[in-house]
Structure 1
Amino acid sequence: MQNSGNETDTDTAQEVIGEALAFKDMVWKWLTDSEMWTVVLLAAVRIIIIFILTRLLIKVVYKVIDKTLSHQENSKLRMNPRRFITVGGLLKNTITVVCNFVMFLIVLSEFHFDLAPLLAGAGVLGLAIGFGAQSVVKDVITGFFIILEDQFAVGDVIQTGTFKGTVEMIGIRTTRIVSHTGEVYILPNGAITTVTNFSLSNALAIVDIPIKNERNLQDTIKLIQQALVSTNENTPEMISSPNVLGVQSLSTSEYALRIVADCLPTYREKVERQIQMDVKQAIEREEVLELQATKGEEGTCDGA
């Protein structure tokens, strides 16, 4: 019985040793298989070449996009340069995603993956996601149409619904707007239905100046016109010289003179404030001179 147990242990040890030797032989054969390593090295070289070519292709396309947009920017058909930034960024992101996806498929083919079931599964998965995330799909489609139709661009001042501010980012799914007081609004593109763009055309500054009825109309208009000369010279945001249209309203105590001026988009409030300040200062100076003249006349009368 004891000899039988020893023989069993010996057989087990021999089997383990045999399996270890077989595994060693298999590993050694795998490590010394020149044909296998040749295939692996060739596949690795092809993958590296594919990666390098993809990066070069992306860079070339980037340069083509930049050159094309630069040519359009310098052409006679001038557009807002911020729109070129928006369109260029979107095109570059799209090209990067497409090229990397194609590179991924080519690399998989190097490992002998069957791409047909993978593409079919991706189509079914995309269809399922489309049904389950219709709002996301709507946001994406609306984002493309915003860019395609040039509704607004990065840097434009817009208002949609109750939200007004400067467009900071236009993404595929969301748009980020920063208000003039610093609030950041992140809006799904699908929720942007009606847009007022304040940056597409020049603005019109409109100022109504109240004047007391005691002041002569023609003298006041001449005084305001003289004050507006310096306003036009010192306000680069103003496109045309301010124009005094005339009396806009009339009451028993005062009348209002309307002043208009063309200015750059989004600078209407600044130009209006500058006009009001210059006109106010001119009227104050005139009132001081009139007061001094009145006191001088009173002093002359008293002396007489």
Structure 2
Amino acid sequence: MSSSSDLSLPQYVHDHTHAFFEVPIKIVVIVVVTLVVRAVINRIITKAVEPGHGNRAPRILQPFRERVQNSAFFESTGLLSERRAQRAKTIGSVLKSFVTFIMFVVALMLILSELGIDLAPFIAGTSIVGVALGFGAQSIVKDFLNGMFMMLEDQYGVGDVIDFELASGTVEAVGLRSTRLRDINGTVWYVRNGEVLRVGNQSQGFATVVIDLPIDAWVDVGVASEAMLDVATRMREEDEWKHVFMREPELLGVQSLSRYETVIRLSARVRPLEQWRTARELRRRIKVVMDELEIGHPAPDVNSEVHVSQIDPDSGPPVPTDDTTTTTSVTK
């Protein structure tokens, strides 16, 4: 009995060589090749994410448009490097996750095929689960897709001042699912990328400073306009402000007028995020010059004010006040 079993064992092993040796070896090869290919691709992505020499953008960002390229303000403050690093890191993370998912799915399919498992029911079941997850997590998928497009299109980045309609402030972090920004009061806002319908970015390209100066209607508009433009021009020529102005200040002229006042408008194109500081300094200097020229702001016309007193009909005639003159006529 034992001898027959010993004689049949080699034959049994020989008959099942494919199951005992070939299939495990193929599975191990599939797993090893998958891990090696994944590691190589992730290594390439990591190299592409690393910043270039000097202030060059990472290689992964070079095919995409960069809206703040050649921005002296971002380069001087260091925000440009931080912006590029976070943008590249996020795109690299998404690419790594995508590669890992694809590689593991392909490896799983090959392993199941080697085990002789019919993939048709598996694919059908996976499709049903995918549809169910798609309906249940469609908001999350929407957030991730919107976040990816925001990164690729460089709609905004770290250090930008943006307006999300319901929340506005300085961007502190940009992720695939949400964006974190801090407003002027220090409040931190977390905005889901899928809920963003429009974005107002005040940090791209250039900014415009608009100064409206109201003066008395009787003041010579030419004198006030010339003084206003002279202040802005002299400010632009100073070393401290020379890099801020991107072009000569422009006097737009009379913006509005009425019986009591005339409003003169001046505009200047400046670098992003410099518009508030520049506007405050311009207003201060214009105020000083206008005071020296004795050009004041329009005062309310006291004579045009009409005082209406409400009288109770049951209380008799109104009582005269100090500023009311009464005349009594006596007939003899």
Which TM-score band applies after superposition, normalised by the shorter structure? 0.5 to 0.7
Identity percentage of aligned residues = 28
Cα displacement (A) at 1:133: 2.4
CA-to-aligned-CA distance 1:244-265 (integer Å, 9 cap, x gap): 2223333455433211111223
Q: Check 1:115–1:255 CA distance in 2 against 1; reply closer, same or farther (3 A cut).
A: farther
SS at match of 1:161: coil
Counterparts of 1:122 and 1:237, CA distance in 2: 58
**Cα distance in 2, alignment partners of residues 176 and 123 from structure 1:** 35
Count of matched residue pairs: 247
Matched, 1:247 2:254: yes
Distance, in Å, in 2 between the alignment partners of 1:134 and 1:46 is 33
The reply to whether residue 188 of structure 1 matches residue 172 of structure 2 is no
Contact 2:144 2:193 in 1 (8 A): yes
Task: Give unmatched runs, 5+ long, in structure 1.
Answer: 1-39, 288-304
Match of residue 157 from structure 1: 161
What's the C-alpha RMSD, in Å, of the aligned pairs? 4.0
Answer yes or no: is 1:89 the counterpart of 2:89. yes
Task: Give the conservation status (yes or no) of the 8 Å contact 2:60–2:88.
Answer: no
Structure 2: any 5+ residue segments left out of the alignment? 1-23, 50-57, 70-79, 295-332
Distance 1:103 1:190, change over 3 A: closer
Alpha-carbon distance between aligned partners in 1 of 2:278 and 2:118, rounded to the nearest angstrom: 62
Deviates more, 1:60-69 or 1:178-187: 60-69
How many angstroms apart in 1 are the aligned matches of 2:230 and 2:164? Answer: 40
- The structure 1 residue matched to 2:68, chosen from 66, 80, 92, is 80
How far did residue 189 of structure 1 move?
2.0
Contact 1:248/1:258, CA 8 A, preserved across alignment = yes
Of residues 156-165 and 98-107 in structure 1, the stretch that sits farther from structure 2 once superposed is 98-107
Q: Distance in 2 between matches of 1:55 and 1:172?
A: 23
Question: Which moves more between the two structures, 120-129 or 227-236?
Answer: 120-129
- The 3-state SS of whatever aligns with 1:274 is helix
Evaluate the alpha carbon distance shift between residue 106 and residue 247 of structure 1 in structure 2; reply closer, same or farther with a 3 A threshold.
closer
Q: Which residue of 1 aligns with 2:279?
A: 272
Aligned 8 A contact 2:182 2:188 in 1:
yes
Give 3-state SS (helix, strand or coil) of 2:222's partner: helix
TM-score with structure 1 setting the length: 0.62
Aligned partner of 2:244 in structure 1 is: 237
1-side partners of 2:207 and 2:193: how far apart? 27
How far 1:171 sits from its partner (Å)?
2.2
Give the structure-2-normalised TM-score: 0.58
Aligned-pair CA distance for 1:162:
1.9
Q: Which has more helix, going by share of residues?
A: 1
